[in-house]
Amino acid sequence: MGDPTPEAIVDSALTTLVSCTRQRDLPGTLDLFVDDAVVFGSDEGEFARGRDDVRELLTALYAESITYGWTWDYPVAGRHGDVVWFVALSQAILEGEGAPPPVPYRLSGVLRLVGGRWRFALFNGAQPVAEQDT
């Protein structure tokens, strides 16, 4: 059997990420990122660079009353050697008391093959801006 497609690699990585975030599994989530990873969220201040920053961002997110997750359409992805990049139309699905309804979201990132495992080098989630009447 050949190598998995870039899309399958991304789908697997995102599925594992959602599993970890739903469980508030800090060590498991951190293990999904390379040491010098960069994370961008859609809210102001949701930026992390490097393991310590990513840990701090996740600790703050996991202290909230809601948990974060996403659903996505099959991602658009490409691969060159040990690097996969992707974009995926998605929905942010927040769960817990006071969670808002699902919202359109965009996921993108870069995965690197490190120690036989695909890990996020860049993860970006952003809520698209609704078009306004002009």
Nearest to 21 by CA among 127, 84, 96: 96
Tokens 């399958």, located at residue:
8
* DSSP H or E segment with residue 86: strand 83-92
Phi-psi sector, 81: left (phi>0), alpha (psi -120 to 50), beta: left
Distance between CA atoms of residues 54 and 80, nearest Å: 26
Instruction: Express as a percent the part of the chain with pLDDT over 70.
Output: 96
27-57 residue pLDDT tens: 999 999 999 999 998 888 889 999 999 999 9
Identify which of 36, 30, 18 has the alpha carbon closest to the alpha carbon of residue 91: 18
3-class secondary-structure state, position 77? strand
What fold is seen in the domain 6-126?
Answer: Nuclear Transport Factor 2; Chain: A, (3.10.450)
Domain map (residue ranges) of the chain = 6-126
What per-residue confidence (pLDDT) applies to 128?
87
Contacts 24+ apart (CB under 8 A), 112-119: 112/34, 112/82, 112/83, 112/84, 113/82, 113/83, 114/34, 114/82, 118/9, 118/12, 118/13, 118/84, 119/13, 119/31, 119/32, 119/33, 119/34, 119/37
Q: What is the pTM of this model?
A: 0.92
